[in-house]
Amino acid sequence: MSRGSGKGLSLKDKLDGNELDLSLCDLNEVPVRELAALPKATVLDLSCNNLISLPSDFCSLMHLVKLDLSKNRLQQLPLDFGRLVNLQHLDLLNNRLVTLPVSFAQLKNLKWLDLKDNPLDPVLAKVAGDCLDEKQCKQAAVKVLQHMKAIQSEQDQQRQRKLQAEREMEKKREAEQRAKEALERELRKREKAEEKERRRREYDAQKAAKQEMEKKTKKETVHTRKPVSSSRAPQPPRHKPSWSRSVLRVLLFVLFCILCTLAACKLTELQHQPLCVSMNTLYEDMVAALQNHKTLQNMLQHNSHQ
């Protein structure tokens, strides 16, 4: 691999036992695929190159035990750098690192660490201290791991608190939703009961009106069939026609007929007829009889007064 990209170099030619020296190769990228093909290369030296970042698949090189990345231009490490769980020795001298990824706390086998000459966060720089000898570099590894574990624990706690808050918020929303649904059910139940009560009142009113109408109709029917009750003002009794009046009417009718016949017999040419002679004679006899009949006269006078 070429000097810039790593292509053109024969990694096997540079492999010495378990050590692979790629320092001073003017590398801009790490040949991860070629390195993955050499699992025996547990010691990797990438110092003194032009590396600005490491690819994410670099963390798949889990066979690495010792890694030298000093004197590059690294600004950050991959977020899953902690996957290199077998790493024991890590040299990051003279780069541009400010912080370390939280997954750094997973490097449980790390025994040696050098972070000198990096623009580290003040807190991290104080924790790391100097790496001027073997002892300080080992202490740096222990202290930085503890610091990163504390950060990881705090982030985990924050994440747990956030999840707990989200769960509580979700429970609160569910409780509010249940309360809302219960209130809606109660409102629907109340509206249904009110509607039922309204229909019942309408039914009772219609039934009462129907009964009142039937009662009124029945009362009117009874009034039309029964005689006027005694509570009403008494009416003057009607006079029943007497038998004398009926007899009088018959007599008057007969008299009228006789008078008509007599008139015809006296005023017309029929007066000389035998019938008219008989009628005139009968008339004269009747007039005489009436004049002598006092009972009939009293009856006539009584009827005339009425």
Instruction: Point out the domain boundary residue: 109, 134, 155.
Output: 155
Query: Which are the contacts of 134, defined by CB distance < 8 A and separation ≥ 6?
Result: 112
Is 233 part of a structural domain of the chain?
A: no
Confidence at residue 1, expressed as pLDDT on a 0 to 100 scale: 43
Instruction: Point out the domain boundary residue: 133, 155, 177.
Output: 155
- Averaged in consecutive runs of 10 residues, what is the pLDDT profile of the chain (306 residues)? 52 90 94 93 96 94 96 96 96 96 96 96 94 94 95 90 90 91 91 90 89 84 63 54 73 77 71 72 70 61 58
Confidence at residue 238, expressed as pLDDT on a 0 to 100 scale: 56
Rounded to 5°, the CA angle 9-14-16 comes to 165
CA distances from 230 to 42, 221, 224, 226, 263 (A): 133, 18, 15, 11, 55
- CATH number for the domain spanning 77: value is 3.80.10.10
Confidence at residue 213, expressed as pLDDT on a 0 to 100 scale: 86
Is 43 part of a structural domain of the chain?
A: yes
Burial class (CB in 10 A: 0-12, 13-18, 19+), 250: exposed
How many structural domains compose the chain? 2
Residue 140 and residue 262 in one domain: no
Torsion from C-alpha of 244, 248, 249, 252, nearest 10 degrees: 180
Query: Which are the contacts of 62, defined by CB distance < 8 A and separation ≥ 6?
Result: 83, 84, 85, 86
Residue 20 and residue 130 in one domain: yes
Instruction: Point out the domain boundary residue: 130, 155, 180.
Output: 155
Q: Which two tokens stand for residue 245?
A: 């009046």
Is 128 part of a structural domain of the chain?
A: yes
Residue 29 and residue 132 in one domain: yes
Is 205 part of a structural domain of the chain?
A: no
Is 114 part of a structural domain of the chain?
A: yes
Is 187 part of a structural domain of the chain?
A: no
Strands 15-16 and 89-91: unpaired
Query: Which are the contacts of 154, defined by CB distance < 8 A and separation ≥ 6?
Result: none
Q: 266 lies in which domain range?
A: 250-303
Query: Which are the contacts of 120, defined by CB distance < 8 A and separation ≥ 6?
Result: 97, 98, 99, 128
Is 150 part of a structural domain of the chain?
A: yes
Confidence at residue 255, expressed as pLDDT on a 0 to 100 scale: 74
Cβ contact 52:29 at 8 Å: no
Confidence at residue 240, expressed as pLDDT on a 0 to 100 scale: 52
